[in-house]
Structure 1
Amino acid sequence: MTKNWLATGALALTMGMTATASYAQTTTIPGEQVGLATGAPLPEGIYALNTFVFQSRDNPSPLDVGINIPVLVWSTPLVPLGGRIELLVAPPTVFAFGKRSGPAGLRDLSINVGTFVGGIWAFDLGNNFGVSLLGGAYLNELNGDRGVLRTNAGGLVGTGTVLPQLSSNTYRFGVAGSYTGDGWNITANLTANIYDSPSSFGGGRDFGTIYSLSDSLNLDLTATKKFGKFEIGAIAYGTVNFDTGAKAAGIVNAALNDRGRFLMGGLVGYDFGFATAQVYVARTVARSAASFDSTEISGRLIVPLYSPTPVAAVAAPIIRKY
């Protein structure tokens, strides 16, 4: 059962944000898949997963950030070339919390991220090794919400959006490898975000701003071990932007000077039988000058909703000797 819960983690999907002039340019939030054996195929069935991430950002950032990621996955009976096909959907939400009260403090806000739809092709290679491929898109152009910052007094802060990533659909591709023997979960997961760029929100919704969106790459690392129903171990994750150069006049580079950042921490989990819960904490250990330091606390719940009823074995005929 342990392996089945961990495998569910091929799913958690969301985005990162920053409210300064530089942007951690990745729609998929770094670290969203740590603690999960994303390389292992799921047993056939339907699963629900919810992850909430809270970023406590160091001063002088005026905001803390929360991200909620509900996910539904159908692990289908289809196994072309020996790989399980898993279909998934996720409608993430981002929250920002102003740190200072009073009229000049920043107002709290929430932003709807474009719903993610995608699929996974996961292979059991034997000897407790697995590998998976993921592909899909965040449909930001259909239901992405730009988000703007305002003071508690109602004044607009700046002239751009909080999340320029949402001006374009985000195309997501990933590859993961996992070892799940002897209660271990040793997993490495690479996730690429590719954008239609340059892009804008259109319809005059964003002051005529055109964004140059940097493609990016995330790395999530997990090394945990099960002790009975408990799980404990180490995690690490980070992101890197590919294009941080200056752009032409009239085009805002949404990753200007922000090469990326990397965090490390630990994870504790417990298997309740009907569900599995995990809590993990990480702290920035390296970053580019334009990025930010933060302590991130995340909680996750994984629940199986349906699995096919096993087919009853046909009784063997009784043979009597006379």
Structure 2
Amino acid sequence: MRMSSKFVGASLAALGALSLCTFSGTAMAGSITQPGEIVGYSWAPLPQGLYFADTGSYGNDRGAGYNAELGVNIPVIVWSTPWDFLGGHVEAYAAVPSVALGLPGAGYVSAIYNPALLVGEAWNLGNGFSISDFVGGYAPVNNALNQDNWTFNERLGVTYSMNGFTLTGHVVYGITGNSMSNSFTNPVSGFNEYGQHVMPDYVNLDLTAVKAFGKYSLGVVGFGSWDVSGAASTLLTGRQSQFAVGAMGGYDFGPVILQSYLTRDVLSQGYYEGGVPGAAKIYETRFWVRVIVPLWNPPAPPAPVLAKY
């Protein structure tokens, strides 16, 4: 089955997570959902079936507070169910991401990251417009990256697709719970007894504008993240935020779609070298690559038999 670029991101939202933290024990603030992981997707209902999407990225890590290197891999399984509800198509997503973080002079640490599960619907509104809404979250993982938290997630996406142009906007709202491993958190400092900082609630915004040229697609992307409440306000740096822009290209091989994009922060607030206010700000540069593969679709119904007289 050929998967049209109209459906490329219809429901293959990379659900992976990224803690912007160090493995020395002190987590910085930042979104659990990796900023920028969902650019390049549209939000029209996906044809019934099973799909696989994998988004990998590599760059420096603005949240570590140092000149860190960070690799992220986000494999996703998507089930576009046979069911509709309230005019929308029901879909579900599951992911088990992994990350590898390195600090100068301290080596690397890698780990399986917080698994994610979301369920929701996508609506085709007509005239090129689609909208989707998914709820769920990330499960805690007690690993070297200090992300033993439950995190609620809601994701609202809007797409306009017409005449080869696709414009998308996607908002993620996350509510992060306390660490399951460490029950006490100092209400003044925001740190627990292990020096781990409670992660903030956050809002991410991912934006995409692309144009298809036959099998090729080219466009621009942008994404931002903002700490909105919780322990982020107790950091010396205050609540953190950033916004990045970049370019995207893609190619439709038929059933397999390949995308890549390169991004660079243009705004950075609260991300400083060493986590020290007044030090040089950290601007993240990141290269991304994504592959999308349909695994199974139901066979097309047989053509009706026309009687001849």
- How does the TM-score come out when normalised to structure 1? 0.82
Q: How far is 1:12 from its partner?
A: 3.9
Match for residue 107 of structure 2?
A: 107
Q: Is 1:171 equivalent to 2:152 in the alignment?
A: yes
Residue in 2 that maps onto 1:139: 139
Segments of structure 1 that go 5 or more residues without pairing to the other structure are 148-161, 247-252
2:65, 2:46 → 1: CA distance? 43
**Aligned equivalent of 1:308:** 298
Q: CA deviation at 1:87?
A: 1.2
Contact 1:12/1:50 (<8 A) preserved: no
Question: Counterpart in 2 of 1:190?
Answer: 171
Matches within 5 A, 1:1-322: 1-19=4-22, 23-37=28-42, 39-57=43-61, 61-98=66-103, 100=104, 105-140=105-140, 144-147=141-144, 162-163=145-146, 166-197=147-178, 199-202=179-182, 208-209=194-195, 211-243=197-229, 244-246=232-234, 257-290=238-271, 292-319=282-309
Q: Amino acid of the residue matched to residue 106 of structure 2?
A: L
SS at match of 1:273: coil
Q: What's the CA shift for 1:305?
A: 0.5
What is the DSSP-based 3-state SS (H/G/I as helix, E as strand, rest coil) of the residue aligned with 2:92? strand
% same residue: 29
Please tell me whether Structure 1 or Structure 2 has the larger radius of gyration of its CA atoms. 1
Q: Distance in 2 between matches of 1:265 and 1:184?
A: 17
Query: How far 1:22 moved relative to its partner?
Result: 6.5
Matched letter for residue 245 of structure 1 = S
SS at match of 2:200: coil
In the alignment, is the contact (CA less than 8 A) between 1:12 and 1:49 conserved in 2? no
Task: Indicate the RMSD between aligned Cα atoms, in angstroms.
Answer: 2.3
Aligned pair count reads: 285
Residues 1:86 and 1:186: Cα distance change in structure 2 (over 3 Å):
same
Assess if the C-alpha contact under 8 Å between 1:200 and 1:211 holds in 2. Answer: no
TM-score (norm 2): 0.85
Q: Deviations over 1:29-52 (max 9, x none)?
A: 000010111x21111110000000
Q: Distance in 2 between matches of 1:26 and 1:6?
A: 21
The answer on whether the counterparts of 1:55 and 1:66 sit within 8 Å (CA) in structure 2 is yes
Taking a change above 3 Å as real, the CA distance of residues 224 and 203 of structure 1, as seen in their structure-2 partners, is same
SS in 2 for 1:173: strand
Instruction: Give the deviation of 1:57 after TM superposition.
Output: 4.6
Contact 1:120 1:133 in 2 (8 A): yes
Q: Is the 8 A contact 1:11 1:73 kept in 2?
A: no
The CA distance in 1 between the partners of 2:176 and 2:7, in whole Å, is 33
2-structure distance, mates of 1:171, 1:256: 25
| Conservation of the 8 A alpha-carbon contact between 1:278 and 1:300 | yes
Cα distance in structure 2, aligned partners of 1:57 and 1:213: 16
| Amino acid in the other structure paired with 2:40 | G
Give the whole-Å Cα distance in 2 for the aligned partners of 1:203 and 1:81: 41
User: Mean alpha-carbon deviation: is it higher for 59-68 or for 42-51?
Assistant: 59-68
Distance change >3 Å, CA 54–CA 116, structure 1 → 2: same
CA distance, structure 2, for counterparts of residue 13 and residue 130 of structure 1: 23
Distance 1:289 1:226 in 2: 37
Higher mean C-alpha displacement, 290-299 vs 118-127: 290-299
From the superposition, tell whether residues 111 and 256 of structure 1 become closer, same or farther in structure 2 (CA, over 3 Å). farther
Extract unaligned runs of 5+ from structure 2.
Answer: 185-191, 273-281
